[in-house]
Chains A and B, each alone.
Chain A
Amino acid sequence: MRVGGVGTLGLTLLVVLVASGILAPWIAPYPPDETTGAPFTPPSRMHLLGTNDVGQDILSELIFGVRISLTIGFLAAILAISIGTLAGVVAGYFSGWVDATLMRLVDIVLVVPFLPLMILLAAYLGPSFWNIILVIGALVWARPARVIRAQVLSLRRLDFVDAAVALGASSGRLLLRHILPGVLSLALAQFILAASNAILIEASLSFLGLGDPTAKSWGSTLYYAQARSAFLSGAWKWWVLPPGLLITAAVLGFAFTGFALEEVLNPRLRR
């Protein structure tokens, strides 16, 4: 039930964030891309978190930023889990050379140094919204694939599968009706963990200037804060702390939820 507590906390965080994102036009005091004040002003009644380098309200920017950051996280995670689940299921179910090849690929992706490769890919593909999703998805699928494969392997060994095969069930039917459902819940947990990963990575890439600075994610807010000397002028307190806290909150929300799900679903972790 402690696990439940953690999970609830995580879900709450997520729900609050997603709701803010959806309700952004109503809860944000100003449109995020409009110059509504003088640049670099500290927090005031008019602008609770001050203004950025072009006079846009930081609070509004962060609220709308929920949409971008979470969307990137979600989409990248969906891509990663789609590839990962497919690979894991196919490898675990069909075995043989298919399995060997796929797992080789997984090993390769896991061995090649992660962040450097990501930086390289991001720089190669260019800073754009979709490229970041592609880059993250292309690297984050490997670990879920392994986990799912293990799950498929153990599912396959179950008696009812043997029975079904004996009764003449086709591979497709088996996959669909027995294997896939067993894997889905694990895939969900992996998805959530992948999303938390993706949000962190996007923030890092954007901050390094490899993301799309015109897509107003929290990472790009931090990029501008850094680039426009927020650390020197004391502006970091309202320009750097809040986006970082939001990123942490989002990642934590996903992590708690995913952790709780995994504790519940992964049989090997149970006592």
Chain B
Amino acid sequence: MIASLVLLGLALPATQAQTGAVRLAITRDEGWLNPYTYQTGFPGWNIMTLVYDTLYYPDANNEPIPWLVRDTRVSIDGRTWTLTLRPNLRWHDGRPLTSDDVKFTFEYAAKVAHSRWTPTTRNLEGVDAPNPQTVVFRLKQPDAGFRLRTLADVPVLPRHIWESVTTVAAARAFRNTVGSGPYRVEEVQDNQFYRLVATPQYFAGPVKVRELVLPIVRDATVSFTALQAGQIDATSRVLTPELVAQFEKTQGLKVARGAGFASTILQFNLEHPLLRDVRLRRAIANAINTNLMVRLLMLGYAVVGSPGYLHPDSPFYAQGLRFEASKARAVTILNEAGYTDRNSDGIREAPDGTPLQFTVLTLAGNPIRIRGAELIRTWLKDVGIGLTIRVAEDAAIIDQVWPDFDVCKGRRFDMSMFGWSAPVMTRPTALVDLFHSNCQRGTINIGGYKNPEVDRLGEQLVVTVDLARQKQIASQMQQIIARDLPIHVLFYQDTIMAYRPSAYDKWVFQKGQGYVTKLSFVDPPK
């Protein structure tokens, strides 16, 4: 037993170029790790792409680099994309991967609904496969995000396996994991772990880790305890602020830190009779001391939010855009706007007599957000605005804030603590998704914000392919949003990842997201 303990407790060190086995803990069950059964955007999609390849792949800076594709030609009008695949691509079962599979994949995505990439196929007029190496995409409209959002996102499916799976229900229960990626799914233990084994002779080059074991550890505390105790070598979970100092000092552990793109925001309901007044929103934002929040809640491991939404490290950030909160200014704004406390109960009233009393929703399972809400409540009380905190389960919050995930269905709330995950930050068109007033285009405009100027700029942004022009438009949009404050961005939590270098040390840190990326295990193809 001692012998097996010793063997299990240490990963075998690298012999030659390939490391033996690495244990990377993930946070929840991810189905069968194929495109229709994985569960989460992160790390689910990332792990699924270890088994399946996409045409492009995001690099460490979130720029799409060619992967299955060897070269690309785009027509002048931006509507025809001709891609040449690399030669000798194979599926795990030995069959060749050809343009026919690519064509099949995109037609399949349009037919068999998938929440993540079916929407991106809406802009496709058609996909042709004139010969086994060439794929031609014909778009309806030019699309600035085509490479990142579509080509670097949709995994290619083997036609010979998926053509018989014709309904959504069948797809979501389909267990087959034959892909083309650097790893094969070797073993799945229900709710306990996955075991992936490296594909011999992967086209892009040698795979650096022979075997990946992915235990499912749902609790944050348990996963960090296990990491510290040496039971796992790495985890997809971001290290919580309170453990950073301790882990940095621990022998045998290394901590990698970088900007994080997941945001924590205070979302306003712009249709609320009181909150539709921009002055009130500005006053509320001024009362919130985000600097102190970052120090207290995140122990300094976060970046204060930018009022235009985009992270200062994002290439599309409007340079110099900042929000300086000031309690004095909050009081001034409130007084000048006519919100005074007429009955001396500590809560100001609007000119028509309605008290400034709001409810803020916050997620039950997220203690940091709850604490954030408590801090906000204290600060708002200081300026005479009353806040009640309502802690609720995810489904209950979604029901009020984003019913059925359909912005068109309206909303019924005052304010809510909310957050968007990293992928929302990596594309400039996120500004359209977040702020366009048409509920079909502003698919995550959960506050119901309406500004025709922002709409116009957004529509322009989507069809602009020139990078410099994109940045210009994005900057203008952010300036307007910073004035209107439909949402108040509190902070962006840093991405801090801990791991055991003795087990594996060649992790690649993807900006804003972490080290669970295909690039950590295989170098980009030349």
Contacts and interface: CB of A to CB of B under 8 A. Distances in A.
Contacts of A231: 221, 225
B391 A33 contact: no
B238 to A, nearest CB: 13
A231 B243 CA distance: 11
Interface stretch (A18-26, A146-154, A221-229): A221-229
A123 B243 CA distance: 30
A39 B228 contact: no
B367 A232 contact: no
A105 interface: no
A35 B289 CA distance: 14
A232 B243 contact: yes
A40 B296 CA distance: 10
Given A54-B371, A214-B374, A223-B367, A40 B221 contact: no
B246 A53 contact: no
A126 interface: yes
Contact of A229 (B224, B365, B389): B224
A25 B2 CA distance: 55
A239 to B, nearest CB: 11
Nearest to B392: A126
Contacts of B220: 227, 229
Contact of B221 (A35, A54, A212, A232): A232
B242 A54 contact: no
Interface in B368-404: 370-371, 373-375, 378, 389-393, 396
B391 A233 contact: no
Contacts of B375: 54
Q: Point out which of B224, B225, B390, B391 has the most chain A C-beta atoms below 10 A from its C-beta.
A: B391
Interface in B203-235: 220-221, 224-225, 228
B221 A214 contact: no
A29 interface: no
A243 interface: no
B500 to A, nearest CB: 15
Interface residues of B, number: 27
B367 A229 contact: no
A78 B422 CA distance: 49
A128 B391 CA distance: 8
A213 B372 CA distance: 13
Given A35-B296, A212-B391, A214-B370, A232 B224 contact: yes
Interface string A220-258: 000110111101110000000000000000000000000
A214 B370 CA distance: 8
A229 B240 contact: yes
A232 B370 contact: no
Given A209-B364, A229-B243, A53 B228 contact: no
B364 A228 contact: no
Nearest to A215: B391
Contacts of A223: 367
A54 B296 CA distance: 6
A233 B224 CA distance: 10
B297 interface: yes
A223 B378 CA distance: 21
B228 A33 contact: no
Contacts of B240: 228-229
Contact of A232 (B228, B392, B396): B228
Given A229-B242, A233-B243, A33 B225 contact: no
A139 B296 CA distance: 40
Given A123-B393, A231-B225, A213 B242 contact: no
A53 B221 CA distance: 15
B364 A127 contact: yes
Contacts of A213: 364, 367, 370, 391
Nearest to B389: A214
A43 interface: no
Interface string A18-61: 00000000000000010100011000000000000111000000
B299 interface: yes
Contacts of A53: 242, 367, 371
Contacts of A54: 296-297, 371, 374-375
B270 to A, nearest CB: 25
B279 to A, nearest CB: 29
A127 B503 CA distance: 42
Nearest to B225: A232
B371 A33 contact: no
B242 A233 contact: yes
Contacts of B378: 33
Contacts of B243: 229, 232-233
Contact of B367 (A123, A127, A224, A233): A224
B391 A127 contact: yes
Contacts of A126: 392-393, 396
Interface in B352-374: 364-365, 367, 370-371, 373-374
A127 B221 contact: no
Contacts of B391: 127-128, 212-214
Closest 6 CB pairs of A and B: A227-B367, A127-B391, A214-B389, A54-B371, A229-B221, A213-B370
Given A39-B299, A40-B299, A126-B393, 5 more contacts: A128-B390, A213-B370, A213-B391, A228-B242, A232-B243
Interface of B: 220-221, 224-225, 228, 240, 242-243, 246, 296-297, 299, 364-365, 367, 370-371, 373-375, 378, 389-393, 396
26 contacts: A33-B378, A40-B242, A53-B242, A53-B367, A53-B371, A126-B393, A126-B396, A127-B364, A127-B391, A127-B392, A127-B393, A128-B390, A209-B364, A210-B364, A213-B367, A213-B370, A214-B374, A223-B367, A227-B221, A227-B367, A228-B242, A229-B220, A229-B224, A229-B243, A231-B221, A232-B224
